[in-house]
Chain A
């Protein structure tokens, strides 16, 4: 390609031209170096505690605040028809299907602790006697895939009211039989579609979907829907979560 023929041109002698070309080449190499620097940074993974990790963690806390601000306690997740349900609904956990925990249903009890008036444990029958709600909603996984399923159970808000929870507290924490744990902000815990699910489809939760009790929060990513819940507590200290403490964004609202 030739240079412009319009306008005045600075005439360079061959030595100057060579020098200019070298400068251009050097700058080009520098551009390459930034990509190389990126490759070196690609080890930064939220788990080394280095400078970049600290910035990423700080940004994640900032994103928690933005998402809490974006969240509406009234806006409902879209619901679907039975025909739109994903068949079969995928199994997903931090372990394989062979390691699903065994829960003895005959002496199962849900513990309650923290900032609540009544800390007596709950049986499954007791939970079934509370008002129930069923929704067919989309579960969005942090990995990107999604699946539509039907969950039924007690709205968490109703349960929290029954145990006299301090709903001005910031967090609701969940502990599970498979040593999984997670937590919600209070606004999400009080959302009408946030359920303590007892049923999947028309039947009681089967082992692979989190029997006997799981959380179903259509306004959060899938990993914020803990299964095999054995304890619920209300707290002003962020209880974190199994994945959240490793680096998945804590709020993870959708």
Chain B
């Protein structure tokens, strides 16, 4: 029986680059939020990067490029390599309900190199949140040059709330993602080494 990689090298590289970018964007973004909070709380200074507003903005506007380029490369790779189609589809509501109930009863079996329906749904949702956070970020950054985009979000002030909500959604995904890695630690190593699993029907033959 032939084996294949669980995660190809482009996926692993982009995963860890994205992790680095997300840490930087979260920490600098929280500092920027603190300069003019939308809600009745501030993020602890220890969780921020940049030291002062000017520093935090510099981090945010530097790492946004790496985040965006990496994200774009990921989407292109996902489409061209058929990674999305092969690993993240189909997602039927019935399968999601089945796997969700199994997961909550702690009876969901982790199949090496296969995403269950709940995971697939989560990945699609976090990808959508990723698109939303980029678009709302652009709307806040350029409310005049990109005023049609800003208007789509209901104006500058509303776009700030959307940007925050998308951050919260991605943050929640990261928490669940890390909890799952802690529960099933054997999923961590393949994201570093690539891992191996048997070839199955639908795999691209190398």
User: Given contacts A3-B110, A38-B24, A75-B144, is CB(A142)–CB(B57) below 8 Å?
Assistant: yes
A43 to B35 CA separation, bound complex (whole angstroms): 17
A246 interface residue per 8 A CB criterion: yes
Q: Which residues of B contact A143 (CB under 8 A)?
A: 35-36, 53
Closest Cβ of chain A to B51, distance in Å, is 3
User: Given contacts A140-B156, A144-B160, is CB(A42)–CB(B144) below 8 Å?
Assistant: no
Closest Cβ of chain A to B196, distance in Å, is 9
Are B62 and A247 in contact (CB-based, < 8 A)? no
Contact for B156 among A2, A8, A59, A138, CB less than 8 A: A138
Closest Cβ of chain B to A206, distance in Å, is 24
B residues 34-87 near A (Cβ < 8 Å) are: 35-36, 46, 48-55, 57-59, 61-62, 65
B-contact 0/1 string along A1-42, CB 8 Å cutoff: 111111110000000000001011001100100110011011
A130 interface residue per 8 A CB criterion: no
Q: Which of B122-130, B165-173, B178-186 contacts A (4 or more CB under 8 A)?
A: B178-186
Q: Which residues of B contact A6 (CB under 8 A)?
A: 111
Are A3 and B188 in contact (CB-based, < 8 A)? no
A residues 103-162 near B (Cβ < 8 Å) are: 138, 140-146
User: Given contacts A8-B1, A42-B49, is CB(A1)–CB(B189) below 8 Å?
Assistant: no
Are B188 and A60 in contact (CB-based, < 8 A)? no
Are B183 and A35 in contact (CB-based, < 8 A)? no
**Helix, strand, loop or mixed for chain A's interface?**
loop
A41 to B186 CA separation, bound complex (whole angstroms): 30
Q: How many chain-A residues does the 8 Å CB contact rule pick out?
A: 54
B-contact 0/1 string along A80-96, CB 8 Å cutoff: 00000000000000000
A142 to B36 CA separation, bound complex (whole angstroms): 9
A residues 40-68 near B (Cβ < 8 Å) are: 41-47, 55-57, 59-60, 63
Name 19 interchain pairs, CB-CB below 8 A, sorted by A.
A3-B112, A7-B198, A24-B189, A28-B185, A28-B188, A31-B188, A42-B27, A43-B51, A44-B55, A46-B54, A56-B55, A56-B59, A77-B144, A143-B53, A219-B144, A219-B145, A246-B54, A247-B55, A254-B144
Given A38-B49, A70-B145, 19 new contacts (CB under 8 A): A1-B106, A1-B109, A1-B110, A4-B110, A8-B1, A24-B186, A38-B27, A42-B48, A42-B49, A42-B50, A47-B51, A55-B62, A57-B58, A78-B147, A144-B35, A246-B54, A247-B55, A253-B144, A254-B141
